[in-house]
Structure 1
Amino acid sequence: MLDQSLAEIGRGVSRPYDPRNFYDKFAELAARAPESRALLFKKEGQSYSDLVFRAAAVRKALFEKGISPGTRVAFQLDPGFDLIAIKLGILSAGCSYVPISNKEAVDRATYILEDSAAGCFVTQSSYAHRPVGETLPRLIVEDIDWAAADHPDPVITPAGSEAYVIYTSGTTGNPKGVVITHHSMVQFGESISALYETTAEDVVQYFYSPSVDTSVEEMCLAFFATATLSIATETERHAPPLLERAMKDKGVTIAILPLKIGMQMQPEQLTDLRLVIFGGEAVHAEIVKKWQAAWRKVYNGYGPTEATVACIQMHCQPSDSPPPIGRPMANHFVLLVDTDGKTPVPLGERGEIAVAGPGIAQGYLNRPDLTAEKFVINPHARDATEAVFYLTGDIGRWNADGFLEYHGRGDDQVKINGHRVEISEIENAFLQHEDVDFAAVICEGTGEERFLHAFVRAHEGRPTDAKAYWSALQKRLPFQMIPRKISFLTEVPVTRSGKVDRKRLPDFTIPEPAKEAHA
């Protein structure tokens, strides 16, 4: 029997949610405000009726390619109007989408296409030369007839159907696909919009790559309130002063930002911004103080991709201590469990954060072993929505005020600028190089200054060429997973139990400065 105090503190409020699929809900809301501004990009805008029409053009183009409902459709596109239309068009065709970052390494992009069994690849003419998806039916966005009027009707998709598959860093050397349903997507969108009290007057910043699940939150916040989604350009995403200027000029009222970007901006200039959310990595006290204002709320958002973007939220107040991650969102149940993955720990003690609720993913694509390990039966379920716990691997503790604190990872996964990174995937990528005998990667620095440092031992007689290693890694890994520094080892230090002693790695390096990558 679960202790009543754990049940009370661990459950979010109950609220009903729409049983329809995501596109049906979007289309119904768009029909209520057809001339309202849906999108902003650079100096141009599009209405909700424009967006519905363009999604229909995508749907028609997919059907003309022979793509049938239930197909996974992958895409790789730059930020812009087309990106949003493609996502909605795929969903309206009864398909699910598989986003690939426009900066993705060719080998990793190819793996995602193969592992997901994508039936179509959507891209743009400037990327058509890339050796990605060459064996699949290709749809080039510039070839879509955006003016065509004879559109097929949207496909009525059950809410329990797959909506998207987002790939995250994996421990096997390859990324793993997280499968999210329309049901999870809709309930999350409704819950987060209600929590942040989004209205049609809001302008929501669209900052993240579609390969990062935070982009789903940005889209939901805007569309579930028929508000405006303001799309950042690729340049703005990597230049905080330019992003700040664009947000000010377009009157952005809600933004979700990485800590590193937030620390480089001047929030006092953003007088329209009423709400800013930080997440994806541990939020520190400094960022809260920097962004707090009389007219602005600061939130700490927590949640793995496996729980549909976010499941715990905290309205932060200025303090000298890092803010907690907060309380469970609506319809979610959070329990801290012991190392067995099921025994609750008492209030005030640390345990692994286990999450149940309608946002929990279906599991990992093609990974029944890992799905069974991480998605477990919840013996304390109150109803069917709580039937499965996702074991996050994160360590938490309930504080005396009833808020959940984050106490780091229980494994070798780290966060770099908001990106989830499995250390073992990087190490495996090093070992694919014929010259490498051993590789270990550690995370150094704190906060937004964290970076990856690789320690490598080459096979006897083989060269120690950092530039060659970086070049090879760029073909296999996304940029956030490429170590900034590489040091070469004379030998590998081990503990008494024979495991690699990561703390002593710096003591066994060749006596020369570590090679550092330069952007």
Structure 2
Amino acid sequence: MRLHQLVIDSARRAPDAPAVRSSQGVFSYRELDDLADRYAAALHRRGVRPGDRVVLWTHKTLDAIALMQGALRVGAIYAPVSANNPAARVRRIAASCTPALVVADSDGIRRATAAGWDDSLPLASFDEVREEAPAADAPAPYENEPDEPAYILYTSGSTGEPKGVCISHRNALSFIHWAADEVGVTADDRLSNHAPFNFDLSVFDLYATFLAGASVVLVPEGLAYDPAQLGALLRRERISVWYSVPSALVLMMQRGELLSDEPPADLRVCVFAGEPFPIQQVHELRKAWPDVRMLNWYGPTETNVCTSYEVTDRDLGSTRPLPIGTAVSGDRIRIHPPREREGEIVVSGPTVMLGYWGQEPHKGAYYTGDIGRMGPDGMLEYVGRRDHMVKVRGHRIELGDIETVVSAHPKVASASCVVVGDGLDAKIHAVVVPEGPGGPGLLELKRECADRLPLYMVVDAVHVVPELPLTGNGKTDRQALLKQITALDAR
């Protein structure tokens, strides 16, 4: 089982078929394969060997995809980091996985230089690496074992440090083979890539495409939540398989006139995952697109997609939450504690991660921290979280990660964060106890967060209070905080 074999095989079958479509142009499998070999040759020349890590700090481009493939071809483990991450966070990720090389696009190089990059972390631009060796110098593709790691996806961590979810070739391919078969991906398809490469939704976009010899359309980060542009891109690029978080679809429906015209002529499957899809909007979309298959997928980064539910006309009369369905990808799902109708969702099977990078390997089933219940039709429904992890537009956020940054501000004695609202209206509120008179303003905290966190984790509002409410066991009472915020906003 070799993840990098997918592009190699498709390039052999149909070298001139389009593989990647982006604002840079349309690139064939031959071009992607050759560029991957150039990066593999360059990495090998630089001494990158099996098991080494390569961090990619970049916008979504052909070069980024080719470098991922080049890293896999020399047996390295790639760790993609979205371009919207500040240099400080990229340094923390690099310190976590100790990469042989950090490769950044020109924007990343500029920001790293301005922030005073740590010279102990080797940094190079895509241009530098790409020109170091010809494709002919690439070593033979690395023949990995199925359970060797392929990539690391960094997510928000409760301690304030990013957590690296380590995924093996077997983990990824177990999901990809199921998903491509379920969706029926063929070489004629055009798949959207709405998610950034560090978000697990992108795994389907890229690798189901390469498995089938289809083409993937890279949605620029600047358009990710621009409803009018997204709707236009969907039709202009003749996308046949769309995959995104529900909030992107809702935004397109409400503010992008997605449903004002006839359904997109080429769209045959619409997949969504990452957060609950409000049932009324599901009904609206289903009625507008009766001939488009609609699939609701569920799974944390640690398992990728482990359940699936297909929306049909029978759901139109339902007022219950949209089910997340039944187990897929060869996984098994159970509720803990046993024999209860509602409890924690537990996943076991081939998609469960190897573990968090730098920690002990994961063994056995994965306890998701998500609460689920069995609906009357025997389908699993998502209820919520049992901890302080939240979802904002599909991004998984540990509130403790933001709280660590806010609490480090010199004007803050202590702080807690909560999310107010849901869907498109979800906002991150910081509640702070000031250090001395006064307290930090919103712009101060936004700057502090922007220097250390991805943009989607920057606080939207700040409230200064004399003290944080506590529960009986001395922990911050987040429900009381929400009531306080409601009362403050009502004044």
* TM-score normalised to structure 2 length: 0.91
Gap change, CA 1:473 and 1:244, over 3 Å in 2: same
1:148 aligns to 2:134 (yes or no): yes
1:98 aligns to 2:79 (yes or no): yes
Q: Secondary structure at the match of 1:22?
A: coil
Output one character per residue of 1:172-210: Cα deviation in whole Å (capped at 9) or x when no partner: 111111110111111111011011111111100011111
1:80 aligns to 2:55 (yes or no): no
Output one character per residue of 1:206-227: Cα deviation in whole Å (capped at 9) or x when no partner: 1111111111111122111111
Looking at structure 2, the residues matched to 437 and 64 of structure 1 have their Cα atoms a distance apart, in angstroms, of 50
Paired residue for 1:135, among 98, 120, 123? Answer: 120
Looking at structure 2, the residues matched to 89 and 514 of structure 1 have their Cα atoms a distance apart, in angstroms, of 55
Output one character per residue of 1:414-456: Cα deviation in whole Å (capped at 9) or x when no partner: 1000000111111122111222111111111122321211111
Name whichever of 216-225 and 42-51 sits farther off: 42-51
Looking at structure 2, the residues matched to 184 and 204 of structure 1 have their Cα atoms a distance apart, in angstroms, of 21
Output one character per residue of 1:69-107: Cα deviation in whole Å (capped at 9) or x when no partner: 221000111122112111111111211101111010222
Q: Secondary structure at the match of 2:4?
A: helix
Gap change, CA 1:401 and 1:236, over 3 Å in 2: same
Looking at structure 2, the residues matched to 272 and 43 of structure 1 have their Cα atoms a distance apart, in angstroms, of 23
Looking at structure 2, the residues matched to 44 and 459 of structure 1 have their Cα atoms a distance apart, in angstroms, of 53
Gap change, CA 1:443 and 1:105, over 3 Å in 2: same
Which runs of 5 or more residues in structure 2 are unaligned?
A: 253-257
Paired residue for 2:423, among 419, 429, 447? Answer: 447
1:462 CA drift (Å): 5.5
Paired residue for 1:366, among 358, 364, 380? Answer: 358
1:24 CA drift (Å): 2.1
Gap change, CA 1:294 and 1:502, over 3 Å in 2: closer
Structure 2 counterpart of 1:196: 183
Q: Is contact 1:106–1:475 with CA below 8 Å preserved after alignment?
A: yes
Looking at structure 2, the residues matched to 120 and 89 of structure 1 have their Cα atoms a distance apart, in angstroms, of 13
Looking at structure 1, the residues matched to 457 and 434 of structure 2 have their Cα atoms a distance apart, in angstroms, of 20
Which runs of 5 or more residues in structure 1 are unaligned?
A: 1-19, 339-343, 377-387
Structure 2 counterpart of 1:163: 150
Q: Secondary structure at the match of 2:431?
A: strand
Looking at structure 1, the residues matched to 486 and 65 of structure 2 have their Cα atoms a distance apart, in angstroms, of 50
Letter in 2 for 1:360: V
Looking at structure 1, the residues matched to 329 and 90 of structure 2 have their Cα atoms a distance apart, in angstroms, of 35
Structure 2 counterpart of 1:211: 198
Looking at structure 2, the residues matched to 75 and 496 of structure 1 have their Cα atoms a distance apart, in angstroms, of 45
Name whichever of 192-201 and 311-320 sits farther off: 311-320
1:301 aligns to 2:301 (yes or no): no
1:495 CA drift (Å): 3.4
1:272 CA drift (Å): 1.2
Gap change, CA 1:189 and 1:489, over 3 Å in 2: same
1:325 aligns to 2:324 (yes or no): yes
* TM-score normalised to structure 1 length: 0.86
Structure 2 counterpart of 1:472: 448
Q: Secondary structure at the match of 2:391?
A: strand
Alpha carbon RMSD of aligned pairs, Å?
Answer: 2.2
Q: Secondary structure at the match of 2:452?
A: coil
Q: Secondary structure at the match of 1:130?
A: helix
Alignment of 1:475-486 (within 5 A): 475-486=451-462
Q: Secondary structure at the match of 1:209?
A: coil
Gap change, CA 1:494 and 1:235, over 3 Å in 2: closer
**Equivalent pairs, count:** 472
Q: Is contact 1:255–1:275 with CA below 8 Å preserved after alignment?
A: yes
1:284 aligns to 2:246 (yes or no): no
Paired residue for 1:181, among 168, 173, 178? Answer: 168
1:505 aligns to 2:481 (yes or no): yes
Alignment of 1:244-263 (within 5 A): 244-263=231-250
Q: Secondary structure at the match of 2:302?
A: helix
Name whichever of 214-223 and 389-398 sits farther off: 214-223
